[in-house]
Amino acid sequence: MSTARYRSMFTRAVTLRSSFSRSLHTTRDVRNLYFNNSILRRRENILCSAVYMDLRSNSTISAAGEKVSLVAQAANDQSTLLAVSDAVNQAAESLTSHQLGYLESIGLAQTWIWPTDVAAHILELTHVYTGLPWWAVIVIVAVGSRLMFLPLSLKGHVMNMKMKTIQPQVDLLMKQLNSTSSPTEKAQIGIRRQKLMKMNGIKVSTMLASGVVQIPVAYGMFMALTSMAQVPVDGFTTEGLLWFKNLADVDPYMGLSVLSAAGTYTSLMLGAEGMGSMSPATRTVMTYGTTAAMLVMGLWYSAANVLFFVATGFTAMATSMFMRSAAFRRLMKVPQEVYLKSQAAAKNAEAKSITQQYKEMWNDAKTRAEERKAAELRSHRVSTPSPTIRPVRVKSKATKMGRKGK
């Protein structure tokens, strides 16, 4: 093959390479893709080197053309990837709150483990499958979360009623426990207390669980709604109700805060879950403190957050009213005697003012501290051995004179 023909084939290969480079520099995005993609540059260099080597080793023009077509195909593949990426981004942007996966696409509801993510998933599923506006979805999920734990709440309330009937005996045992410092006596008093509660069918775990298990649910819902209001989620600014059309904003008239405080106060006064096991003074502080917190919450948090607490507060109020009815006692088979004793104990506790309650608590704590100190002193005296007294031998004058005479 002549030298002129080799020169012509090499010139065509260089021309193809330069035209390929110009095609990659047509737009800014493709130019950045070319310079930032080391795989594409390495593939181009390898293929162009292969073309040059085939020309030097007497390869045919058709083989060289196939090598160059591979380079062009690589460029087409990268263009296809760009088109697919753009289509994916447009599809993600086109998702709405009425489609599953919307919250995940905006960075929310990433897992099914953390309470906040689980609550966001539940809100999204309810919104998509019911087609209801966001205010109705929040109310439905709030009421459902309370009703889900209703059986446990009813059992806990029965335990609180039974606990009130034996409260004087429990207080007597606790005074004996605080007045002694002997580990053996403390263990015996603890055993007697357990037997007393077992005889009356009282389980402390059930009493505590009725209020504790609802904390993760309330926390998850509160944090999920806070995040959704901060984005804000599609529809949050328009799917409100009455005067709070914008769920992502603060309630301008504080009406939701007043409703939330009223529902919470009523439910606590009627006897919410976990309140029966508290002392009267603690219960009073919890009632007024929680009510004040609900009233002030609307100044900082969105209407969606406050609406959730409005729904849970009124659901708790309805539950407390049901627990005070005769239908509840028939359903849970609560004896009439237990109910009357618990009501009498509650009235006696409510008859005292909060000042009297705190005075009694202070006096009881002071008495327990004095009894504990006296018991420690008694145990210290018993455990400390008395010092040994050695007899002193007194020498009389007659003995001394007799020794001198000898």
pLDDT tens-digit readout, 63-73: 445 544 654 46
135 and 47, same structural domain?
A: no
Beta carbons within 8 Å of 59's beta carbon, 6+ residues apart: none
Domain-embedded: residue 353: yes
The residue type at 10: F
Domain-embedded: residue 396: no
End-of-domain residue from the set 64, 94, 124: 94
DSSP 244: B
Q: Residue 393, SS3?
A: coil
15 and 133, same structural domain?
A: no
Q: Residue 219 has what pLDDT? A: 93
- CB 228, CB 90: distance < 8 Å: no
Which of 362, 213, 339 minimizes the C-alpha distance to 279?
362
215 and 151, same structural domain?
A: yes
* Separation of alpha carbons 308 and 257, rounded Å: 11
DSSP 149: T
72 and 137, same structural domain?
A: no
Burial code (b: 16+ CB inside 10 Å, e: under 16) for 173-212 equals: beebbbbbbeeeeeeebeeebeeebeeeebeeeebebbbe
Query: What is the chain's mean pLDDT, rounded?
Result: 73
Mean pLDDT score, 134-143: 94
Q: Quick one: tokens of 123?
A: 């809100």
Distances (CA, A) of 196 to 82, 154, 167, 404: 75, 22, 11, 81
Q: In whole angstroms, what separates CA 196 from the centre of its chain?
A: 36
* Separation of alpha carbons 345 and 338, rounded Å: 11
Residues 146, 331, 322: CA angle, nearest 5 degrees: 45
CB atoms within 10 A of CB 348: 10
Which of 8, 74, 12 minimizes the C-alpha distance to 47?
74
pLDDT for 261-300, tens place per residue? 998 888 888 765 555 556 666 777 788 888 888 888 888 8
CB atoms within 10 A of CB 289: 11
* Separation of alpha carbons 211 and 283, rounded Å: 14
83 and 121, same structural domain?
A: no
348 and 238, same structural domain?
A: yes
* Separation of alpha carbons 9 and 58, rounded Å: 11
* Separation of alpha carbons 134 and 237, rounded Å: 10
Q: Residue 304 has what pLDDT? A: 93
Model pTM above 0.75 = no
How many domains in the chain? 2
Confidence of residue 31 (pLDDT cuts 50, 70, 90): very low
131 and 86, same structural domain?
A: no
Beta carbons within 8 Å of 24's beta carbon, 6+ residues apart: 30, 31, 34, 75
Query: Residues 245, 248, 254, 260: is their CA dihedral positive or negative?
Result: positive
Domain-embedded: residue 251: yes
Q: Residue 272 has what pLDDT? A: 59
Domain-embedded: residue 266: yes
Q: Residue 26 has what pLDDT? A: 38
- CB 260, CB 310: distance < 8 Å: yes
* Separation of alpha carbons 148 and 118, rounded Å: 15
The owner of tokens 């209020």 is: 211
Confidence of residue 79 (pLDDT cuts 50, 70, 90): low
Q: Residue 121 has what pLDDT? A: 93
223 and 77, same structural domain?
A: no
* Separation of alpha carbons 280 and 132, rounded Å: 43
* Separation of alpha carbons 114 and 223, rounded Å: 11
- CB 52, CB 16: distance < 8 Å: no
CB atoms within 10 A of CB 292: 13
pLDDT for 189-225, tens place per residue? 888 888 888 888 888 887 788 778 888 999 999 999 9
Task: With residue 77 as reference, give the H or E element that holds it.
Answer: helix 61-94
Q: Residue 225 has what pLDDT? A: 93
- CB 241, CB 318: distance < 8 Å: no
Domain that holds residue 64: 3-94
73 and 219, same structural domain?
A: no
Domain-embedded: residue 197: no
235 and 322, same structural domain?
A: yes
Domain-embedded: residue 39: yes
Confidence of residue 17 (pLDDT cuts 50, 70, 90): very low
145 and 39, same structural domain?
A: no
The residue type at 166: I
